[in-house]
Amino acid sequence: MTGRQRPGFPARLDRSAAPARPVQKLPAAEGPRPLPPSSQRQQVHGVGLDSQAVRMAMVNKLAAQGITDTRVLSAMGMIERHRFVDSALANQAYEDTSLPIGLGQTISKPGVVSRMAELLLGGRADKPGRVLEIGTGCGYQAAVLSLLATEVYSIERLRGLHEKARDNLRPLRLPNVHLLFGDGMAGFPEGAPYAAIIAAAGGEAVPQAWTDQLAMGGRLVAPVASAGGVQQALMVIDKTAQGLRQTILEAVHFVPLKSGIA
C-alpha cells in the first residue's frame, strides 16, 4: 500500500478513470471547531443542544442499554448529533430514535450507531486502521468512526446526501475522513484492504466485493435481510485464515441496500 495516492476530503468516485485523486483536503485540527456564540445555539428543555450535559445524558442511556466500550461512549459524547439533523428535528437529536435526513433516508438511532461501532472494535485494545463505511448518509456515523479508527472512507450513492454530509462534516475538520460518491455495493477497492467495514443499509446478502476488500483478521458489520426483505438482523463477519466466520445478532431496521448512484 506504500506510496498509493489516497483520496482527499471530499473525493468523488469515478470508476471509469484512475483511482480517485484528491479533490480537497480539510486542514488538520485537534478536534471539532469551537462552538458558536450562545445566541446562535438551539435549546432543548432549557439546555443548549451543544451542552455536554445533554450529550452525557444520552451516553448514560447508551451505557444503561449495554454499551460498555469506553472509546465508543466517549466518541458518542463528543460528536454533536443535532448538527447532523434538520433544525426542525433538533430537539429530538439526543433521543434514541432514527430521524429523516431527506431522500427517503434516515440517521440511525444512537443506540444502533454505538452498538455497531462497539461490534466493529470487537473488544480489541488496538485502534482499527482503515475503515470503510457503506452509506454516508448525513455524515454522523463517519464522524463517530473518525474518533475510533485511524482512517475512514465513507461512500454514498445519493449525490444529495453526499453533499449534505460534506457540508455537515466540513466544520469539524476531521482530516482522517474521506467522502466518496459512488456505488457502495462495489465497495472502494482503491482503498483496500480495510481493517473493518460497516454498512448502513441491508440486502439479502453481503456483497462479495466487501469481503474481498476486507483485510485478513478484519471485521465486517452490516444488516442482512431475510428472504423477501421482511426482517433484518445485524451480521458480524470475521475474516480468518480458515475462512469467513458469520454471526447473526439482534433484529434491526435499516433502509434497503441498493446499487447504482442517483
What region does 158 belong to: left with phi over 0, alpha with psi -120 to 50, or beta?
A: beta
Asked if omega into 193 is within 30° of 0 (cis), the reply is yes
d(CA 82, CA 80): 6
Cα distances from 181 to residues 23, 133, 137, in angstroms, run 12, 12, 11
Q: Which three cell numbers stand for residue 41?
A: 445555539
Other CB atoms closer than 10 Å to residue 76's CB: what's the count?
23
How far is it, in rounded angstroms, from Cα 140 to Cα 113? Answer: 9
CA atoms within 13 A on the CB side of 208: 0
Active site residue 108: yes
Q: Kindly name the residue from 108, 114, 146, 154 that is annotated as catalytic.
A: 108
List Cα–Cα distances, 249 to 66, 140, 233, 234, 253, in angstroms: 14, 23, 6, 5, 13
The catalytic residues are 108
